[in-house]
Structure 1
Amino acid sequence: MQLFIHQMNEEASNDILTWQYDRPYDFYNNERTDEALQEILDGSYYRMNDENNVLIGFFCIGANAKVPAGNEFGVYNEDLVDMGVGMNPTYVGKGNGFEFCMHVIRFIQEHYPNKAIRLTVATFNERAIHLYEKLGFVSEDKFQTLFAQFQTMIRREHQ
């Protein structure tokens, strides 16, 4: 599968905000609100399409990739590039995650050379954690919110 990265647009945003994941991943479902649409169109989000222009997923870089409650626990104190990812539910759990995430990592490495990458994942999402470990991410910090426990994972350039 060939993947292409583009700046987020309103059409893709509207699609993404209606994606529905199966349990227990329904934790990642969004609601289409003006606030959500404004965030996803703020310039920090990108969409990824395949060679047939099918929307495979999205990612964001920077503050929007962080779980805000993590700031209270100091898990974001180190100056790293934060990434957040979301894959179209149609493609989840079918072996597409590695290639998808490698595209994101290469994009970040091109735009932020020699910077480590951090992501935040809910600890119940063992499937994603396993994938991130295969991609060279190492578990760093854990913190608890009202909704879930999260962990940060870091991928350093020398890995």
Structure 2
Amino acid sequence: MRLFIRKMSEDRAVQILNWKYKVPYDFYNNESIKELLENSYSVVIDENDQLIGFFCVGHSAQVPSGIQYGAYTEKCIDIGLGMKPELTGQGLGFAFFSFILKHVQNVYKLVPLRLTVAKFNERAIRLYEKMGFEKKMEFSNGATVFMTMVNPITVPKVHRH
């Protein structure tokens, strides 16, 4: 499957707003069209122009209640992402997240990446750990416990001859 990144459009935002995740992932069914149309959101499509998922970077990827707990004090680029519900649980997450990660690392060179995940989302946590992310801190918004995970900078080694 070949993947491509496109700017979020109103049509794509409406599609995403109609996604319905199964319990307990239904927690993620709450984006707003205004938020999705902000500049930090992009979509991932396949070669047939089918929507695979979306991602955002920066402040939009942070959980607001984490700020009061100091979850976002380190200098990192925050990433948030979502995959079309019908595609989850099929082993496609690795390719999807790898594609997004490569793009973000190319744009934000040599800056650690951070993401925030609901602690119950063990499927995502396993994937993020597989991709080199390490658990950092936990905080709660009263209803859900979240965890930040950071992918430290990996500086290429210089070989001397």
Fold shared by both chains (TM-score > 0.5): yes
Gaps spanning 5+ residues in structure 1: where? Answer: none
Once the two structures are superposed, the pairs formed by residues 10-159 of structure 1 within 5 Å of their partners are 10-30=10-30, 36-158=32-154
- 1:113-137 Cα distance to aligned partner (Å, 9 max, x none): 0011000000011011001000110
- 1:69-115 Cα distance to aligned partner (Å, 9 max, x none): 00000010011000000000010010010110111111111111001
Query: Partner letter of residue 142 of structure 1?
Result: E
Gaps spanning 5+ residues in structure 2: where? Answer: 156-161
TM-score by length of 2: 0.94
Give the match's secondary structure for 2:18: coil
Rounded to whole Å, the distance in 2 between the matches of 1:122 and 1:10 is: 27
Provide the aligned C-alpha RMSD in A: 1.1
Query: Partner letter of residue 107 of structure 1?
Result: H
TM-score by length of 1: 0.95
Rounded to whole Å, the distance in 2 between the matches of 1:120 and 1:140 is: 10
| 2:159 alignment counterpart | none
Give the match's secondary structure for 2:56: strand
Larger Cα Rg: Structure 1 or Structure 2?
2
Deviating 4+ runs (over 2 angstroms): none
Residue identity (%): 46
Rounded to whole Å, the distance in 1 between the matches of 2:35 and 2:119 is: 25
Q: Could you tell me how far 1:10 is from its partner in structure 2?
A: 0.6
Q: Could you tell me how far 1:42 is from its partner in structure 2?
A: 1.1
- 1:13-42 Cα distance to aligned partner (Å, 9 max, x none): 0000110001111111126xxxx2111111
Query: Partner letter of residue 36 of structure 2?
Result: I
